[in-house]
Amino acid sequence: MSEAYLLFGPEEGKKQDWINEKKREILKSYPDAEQILLFTFETTPEVLTDALNSSSLFSSSKIVQLKSFDDIKKGALVNALIKYLKTPSDDSFLFIISSENSVRKFPAELTALIKKENTVAFYEMKEDEKKYYVTTLFKKEGFRITPEAVTLILSLVENNTLEIRTFCYPVIDFFAKKTDKVITEEDVSKFLAHTREETPATLFSHIANGDLPSSIASLARIMTTRSDGAISTVSALGKSFRMLEDLHIKAKENKLYEAFKLVGSLKTSPFDYKGIFNPNDQATYSKALKKYSATDCDNIISYIEMIDAEIRKAPQELVRTMLECMLYTIIVNKGKESSEKLECELMDNSFSNI
C-alpha cells in the first residue's frame, strides 16, 4: 500500500513530530523500509522518479521525503510528481514537505492527486500558545519558569516549536543542578553569556548598528552551529524588518514606548502578531529605527523575499556567499541591489574565512 502526503506551513516542530509519528506507523508494518531524503532544489526529475519507482533487493518498502518544496512553479519536477501520483508504485510512501503557508501555493493538478486527509497544514502558534508551550516544556522537566524569562526566550527564537525546543533544552541542561528549579530572566541571560550563541536575533542587533564585519562574523557562527541556519536566518531577518517597518508607522502616531507595545509583523499570518517588550530588543529596534527609514525597510523586505526564494534553489556551496552579499546589500545599500558584482566578489574574498 502506498500513500502520498503534502505537509506545509511554517510550524516546523509540529510538522516534524507528525512525520516521525507517521514513519513509526509505517515501520511497524515495514520494518525494513528504505528511507530516502531528497531536497527539491538539488533533485532532478530522474532522481525523484528513480527513488519512487525503483525496486530494492533489500527492503519491502520505501519512505521518500522531498523537502524544501517551496516557491514551486509547474516544471519538470512537478510534472514528474504528477505523473507518479497518477500511477503510484505499491511500495512507496512519499512526504512532500514545504514551509509555504497556503495550499494554493501548489499547482492544483498536484494537490488534486493527494487525499484531502493527507494534506496537512502546520501554522504558527499565537502569542499565548507560545508562552504556554514554553512554560509546559520547562514544567515537564521539573522547572518553573517566570513570565519574564518566557518573554526573553520567545524574543530570541523563531515562532515554531522546533526552534523553541532547540533553544530550551540546552537551558534546562545548563541549570540541571539549580536547587530551586526556577528559571528567571537573569538565568536565561547568564546562559546566553556563557554559551555566546549567535542567533538571528543577535545578527539583527549587529545589522541595527550598521556593523557589517560583526554581522558577517555572526552569520558565520550561525551557519556552523545550526543545520537550518540559512533559511531560518533569512526568515527571521524578514520578520525583524517587517516589525521595524511597522514600528515606523506606529511611532508616527504614538510615543515610542507605546509604539513598542503596538508593533506587530505586517504581511504575515494573523497569528504572527507580537509587541516588542524586552528592553534589549527595544534598544536594538531604537537603533535600527534611526539607521533604516520606512522606505529602506520596504526595499529590504522585498530584497529578503527574493533572497529567500533564491537560496532554497542554490547549490549549498554558494549559500554562504549569497548571504554575505545579502548583508552587504542590507547594511550598505539599504536593500537596493547594485548592478556591480564587485562588492560581492570583495565580500567573498574578505569574509569567507571568518
Three-class SS state of 248? helix
What are the pLDDT digits (tens) for 164-188? Answer: 998 899 999 999 999 999 999 999 9
Note the pLDDT of residue 258: 85
Residue with C-alpha cell 520578520? 239
- pLDDT higher than 90, residue 336: no
Q: How confident is the model at residue 274 (pLDDT cuts 50, 70, 90)?
A: low
Q: Are 267 and 340 in contact (CB under 8 A)?
A: no
Domain 3-121 classification at class level: alpha beta
- Give, in order, the Cα–Cα distances in Å from 108 to each of 4, 6, 39, 228: 15, 12, 21, 29
Note the pLDDT of residue 32: 93
- pLDDT higher than 60, residue 266: no
More confident residue, 157 or 215: 215
Three-class SS state of 349? helix
Same fold? 124-197, 198-354:
no
What are the boundaries of each domain within the chain? Answer: 3-121, 124-197, 198-354
- pLDDT higher than 70, residue 352: no
Ranking 12-21, 88-97, 261-270, 316-325 by mean pLDDT, the lowest is 261-270
Hey, which CATH number is domain 198-354, 1.20.272, 1.10.10, 1.10.150, 3.30.43? 1.20.272
Note the pLDDT of residue 226: 66
What are the pLDDT digits (tens) for 182-212? Answer: 999 999 998 887 776 678 888 999 999 999 9
User: What fold characterizes domain 124-197?
Assistant: Helicase, Ruva Protein; domain 3 (1.10.8)
Average pLDDT of the chain is 87
Note the pLDDT of residue 269: 42
- pLDDT higher than 90, residue 227: no
- The reply to whether the predicted model has a pTM over 0.85 is no
Q: How confident is the model at residue 222 (pLDDT cuts 50, 70, 90)?
A: confident
Note the pLDDT of residue 89: 92
- Other CB atoms within a 10 A radius of the CB of residue 87 amount to 7
